[in-house]
Amino acid sequence: MSRQDAISLAYLAAIVSFVLALRFLSSPTTARLGNWLGAGGMAVAIAATLAQRGLDHHVSILVVMLVSAPVGAFAARSVKMTAMPQMVALFNGVGGGAAALIGLAEFHDQAPEPGRIAFNVGLSTVLSALIGSISFAGSLVAFAKLQELVSGRPITYPGQKLGNGLLIAAAAGVGIAILAGPQEDGLLIGVIAGATLFGVLFVLPIGGADMPVVISLLNALTGLAAAATGFVLHNNVLIVSGALVGASGTLLTLLMGRAMNRSIGNVLFGAFGQVAAGPAAAAAAGTDGQAVRSAGPEDVAIMLAYAKRVVIVPGYGMAVAQAQHAVRELADQLEHGGVDVRYAIHPVAGRMPGHMNVLLAEANVPYPQLHELEEINPEFPRTDVALVIGANDVTNPAARTSPASPIYGMPILDVDRAATIVVLKRGMSPGFAGIDNELYLDPKTVMLFGDAKDSVTRLVAAVKAL
């Protein structure tokens, strides 16, 4: 067996470990083992690559790796669970950026004379540079939005769609020119620059609540960029891993779109919040006169403590206030008193797929208590108190009842079917979609205003005092 065969077998082992890692993610009990398996496969693939014949500059490569590994580990260790969407966006961008740089470097290496690159390799090179750059820039903008370095609101300007369309067409056009004629570094750098600018402009107009879709999509793009570099370097492990990631990102993108009852195109090009702002603002003014029932923590504590069944509905507000630990403490108190407590998780609650699950897991909530939308909705009519913590649009009955509403048709958590609804909210401002929530005017609803963490902490104290 030649050394090259051994390396190929090592790559095959890595591929198997990645597939198994994803397979083991089908259950929380095996998932952690799967992750270790994937990491092991990755180590094997890297070691095999370093052992490749003809590889030069080992020292500088190893030094760079040894310096950057602790940076990645430190970032991963220190990041807060509430900041996970940013972290995922950042890693997406890093992977996409690496793919684009590989495309550029390999292009330079292969194309000193015009016409030397085979069409398929040229195409994959252009694709890895193009997709990688979009993913890089788009992810960094998503990161900046989630980190609130730039406004999470949609940022729009006139002619945006046309401008973006022209920009990406121009970048692709230069890519085609590379395939057809002069294979110069400058042209590929032009593609990278155009695609980078496109990535920025394409994510800027997308609002915060649509982030679950955007992050999933960028994940898919990074996977495809990695697969493209596999075609450039004729490397199966890159092709397979890229395809796996691409499939995962695509699947999640579709799931998120379905959970919002919106097409992916609408999410990406709709600038949702902006569109809905006009009529919603007018509607908001109209509801000011209507009575909203608000209560103090003591009253709410009594409702909760004497309930048989409580369903907690967390949303992005809980994440922002970092209230997950306080929420779990409240649930503990109630359970001590014999209350049945469950959590209802909407698929797009938060800023990324599964965001609420991770936060509650961090707060040590056992996962059998976390229920998906289809599971929990039939339970609401039998629920005494639905406790909505920092969630808004995903509980808005207008999605079921009012065809005129921009969110009409979106699957929601039917909290309005519970006997009593308690809503923890900072103020009466409408949710991300800019739509009023008629739930707050329901006679069964009680509002508890204030920061989510504050309110929950006061509830814990009030329940304890009973």
Partner 1 sequence: MTSGRLIVELTVLVLAIFVGFEVISKVPTLLHTPLMSGTNAIHGIVLVGAIVVAGLPDQATWIRIVALAAVALGTMNVVGGFVVTDRMLEMFKKRAAAPPAREAPSSSRQER
Helix (H, G, I), strand (E, B) or coil at 422: strand
| Least distance between partner 1 and beta carbon 388 (Å) | 20
| Least distance between partner 1 and beta carbon 161 (Å) | 28
Rounded CA separation 397/407 (Å): 10
> Is residue 45 within 8 Å of residue 8, measured between CB atoms?
no
Among residues 69 and 150, whose Cβ is nearest to partner 1? 69
Beta-bridge partner residues of 421: 386, 445
Tokens 């940076």 locate to: 71
Among residues 357 and 396, whose Cβ is nearest to partner 1? 357
| Least distance between partner 1 and beta carbon 363 (Å) | 9
| Least distance between partner 1 and beta carbon 77 (Å) | 6
Tokens 């902490």 locate to: 457
Among residues 338 and 427, whose Cβ is nearest to partner 1? 338
- Residue 436: CB atoms within 10 A of its CB come to 23
| Least distance between partner 1 and beta carbon 259 (Å) | 9
> Is residue 152 within 8 Å of residue 136, measured between CB atoms?
no
Q: How many C-alpha atoms does 375 have within 13 Å on its Cβ side?
A: 12
Query: In which region does residue 431 sit, left (phi positive, over 0), alpha (psi from -120 to 50) or beta (all else)?
Result: beta
| Least distance between partner 1 and beta carbon 118 (Å) | 4
How far from each other are the two terminal CA atoms of the chain, in whole angstroms?
75
Catalytic residue among 210, 393, 414, 436: 393
Among residues 21 and 421, whose Cβ is nearest to partner 1? 21
Among residues 358 and 428, whose Cβ is nearest to partner 1? 358
**3-state SS string over 104-169?**
HHHHHHHCCCCCCCCHHHHHHHHHHHHHHHHHHHHHHHHHHHHCCCCCCCCCCCCCHHHHHHHHHH
Among residues 234 and 308, whose Cβ is nearest to partner 1? 234
Going by C-alpha positions, the residue among 413, 433, 407, 434 that lies closest to residue 262 is: 407
Going by C-alpha positions, the residue among 386, 377, 375, 374 that lies closest to residue 419 is: 386
Beta-bridge partner residues of 95: none
| Least distance between partner 1 and beta carbon 303 (Å) | 22
Kindly write down the DSSP assignment for every residue of 428-466, as one continuous string.
Answer: S---TT----GGGGSTTEEEEES-HHHHHHHHHHHHHH-
Among residues 148 and 185, whose Cβ is nearest to partner 1? 185
Tokens 């709709």 locate to: 270
Beta-bridge partner residues of 310: 341, 385
Catalytic site includes residue 393? yes
Among residues 306 and 367, whose Cβ is nearest to partner 1? 367
Rounded CA separation 112/182 (Å): 10
Rounded CA separation 340/128 (Å): 52
Q: What share of the chain is helix, strand, coil (3-state, %, to 5)?
A: 65, 5, 25
| Least distance between partner 1 and beta carbon 248 (Å) | 5
> Is residue 81 within 8 Å of residue 362, measured between CB atoms?
yes
> Which residues in 128-213 belong to E strands, given as ranges?
none
Active-site residues, by number, are 393
